[in-house]
Amino acid sequence: MTDNLTDNPTASLSGNPIADPTASTRGRTTAPVTSDDRLVDVIVIGGGTGGYATALRAAALGLTVVLAERDKVGGTCLHRGCIPSKAMLHAAELVDGIAEARERWGVKASVDSIDWQALVATRDDIVSRNHKGVEGHLAHAGVRVLRGSAQLTGPRGVFIEGYGNFSARRGIVLATGSRPRMLPGLQADGRHVVTSDDALFAPGLPGSVLVLGGGAIGVEYASFHRSMGAEVTLVEAADRLVPLEDADVSRHLTRGLKKRGIDVQTGARFLDASVLPDGVRASVRTARGEIRTIEAERLLVAVGRTPVTDGLGLAAAGLAVDERGFVAPADWSRLETAVPGIHVVGDLLPPPSLGLAHASFSEGLLVAETLAQVASPPVDYTAVPRVTYSSPQTASVGLTEAEARNRGDDVVVNTMPLTAVAKGMVHGQGGVVKVVAARGGQVLGVHLVGPNVSEMIAESQLIVGWDAEPSDVARHIHAHPTLSEAVGETFLTLAGRGLHQQ
């Protein structure tokens, strides 16, 4: 959730005017930098989702804001992660839809070929339009975006490469994001060995892929490549995929991926790999202790991300990273570090922050409002939805069944297959709704697997966030026929009013 900006910033160190970041669309340049320009209310380092959200909200509240970004505003999410990957996954859904039309519905259609360059052009156009939109929002809000690396010089000071020293009256916000974590002995080359940052930008579609890492990112890329016709092996060291999700989510997801022909290896350890002229050869120890050799045209490493703090100058401000590389807040209600006035958002935060773009938007709002001295509720990380955009999709919010039981809650659980409702039969992809609630009390978690559940989780987010009880939900009518009926039926049963589920 870091990173970037392409246009020139607003003014040079010498005071000579240079091109405004939006001069190409607004047709004007800015005034020279003065000493007054170097003293602002807020300095944000990093223009990813958390950084630019902070900047926009702070400017809307009347604060003067400088946003330092060494690449393109929008960060990893917009340029290398969330947006381009979901564009590609949508294309994958279209390919899958053609196969379903032929196999289930008698529509005699087939995919003759995939025009990779056309697919990439559509993806890049979506990213470009979003990027221009973010730039436009920042310009309209009056945020000064300076392209250059930034380094802390003290509790209120920042040096921005190419612009010099700036000072913040209210505070500094660290939003430098993260980068993919690599395994020892592996080095990404952008072709045969890739990370989640460059997987979608590697040349062409491989015929076979080995994915290391069964979290959300690894599962999504495995799903995409399978839809595009590749032979896919998905290796996860934990005993199940998406191990932070509810165990039933993992089970149904694994079943769906295997049904699609993905070779899922959980409880497996990557040992080593060598690059061949036309791909890679890797060794993996399976859950049974067997050594398995896997050859593939591409090896995709998706074993997590690590915070970006190199060159940030934390020590100059009296800060340090924790043992995992995160910059921990001293006060989570303000996301403020032990150094007053220095705040953190996005992937620099340790758990319970989730490293999700939508969570960082909320973190940015909280920090901006805190700096503007406006009352702001802390982020409720339990109520942040989590989605994996694979086929099948997963979506969840709140506690898993194991988390609820481990903290001592007396819980009741109800599950309902999506195929128990007519629309689920129409889709024919299986799936499940699972609700975890306190006995006689509020809903603690909702977990979904199946088609389009990413668009169904918002209702459950409100249910969990508002501490609703099953009876509160059961009074509301769900449209028929829809997939969301299964959610409604699950709550009806928990409220003692079950119809189709007794």
- Give every CB contact of residue 451 below 8 A, 6+ residues apart in sequence: 391, 392, 393, 418, 427, 429, 431, 483
Assess whether 447 carries a catalytic annotation. Answer: no
Give dist(CA 76, CA 74) in Å, integer: 7
Give dist(CA 161, CA 165) in Å, integer: 9
What is the bridge-based pairing of β-strands 208-212 and 279-285? unpaired
Which alpha helices (H) appear in 324-429, and where do they start and end?
357-371, 401-406, 422-427
Candidates 292, 241, 238; CA nearest to 262 is 241
Cβ neighbours of 167 (radius 10 Å): 14
**Sign of the alpha-carbon torsion through 337, 343, 348, 354:** positive
Q: Which residues pair with 66 in a beta bridge?
A: 43, 144
- Give every CB contact of residue 103 below 8 A, 6+ residues apart in sequence: none
Residue located via tokens 């947006």: 83
HSE-up of residue 90 (Cα within 13 Å, Cβ side): 12
Cβ neighbours of 114 (radius 10 Å): 14
Residue 258 in tokens = 């295997």
Residue 435 in tokens = 């609700």
368 CB burial (10 A radius; 0-12, 13-18, 19+): buried
Among 90, 140, 480, 500, the one annotated catalytic: 480
CA geometry: angle at 328 spanning 322 and 330, to 5°?
Answer: 125
Give dist(CA 143, CA 191) in Å, integer: 38
In this structure, what are the phi and psi dihedrals at residue 50, rounded to the nearest 5 degrees? -70, -40
Give, rounded to a whole angstrom, the gap between the first and last alpha carbons of the chain: 45
Query: Which segments of 36-78 are extended strands (E)?
Result: 39-45, 65-69
Give dist(CA 493, CA 416) in Å, integer: 10
What is the bridge-based pairing of β-strands 305-307 and 178-180? antiparallel
Write the secondary structure of 429-471 as one string of H (helix), E (strand) and C (coil).
Answer: CCCEEEEEEECCCCEEEEEEEECCHHHCHHHHHHHHHCCCCHH
The catalytic residue positions are 480
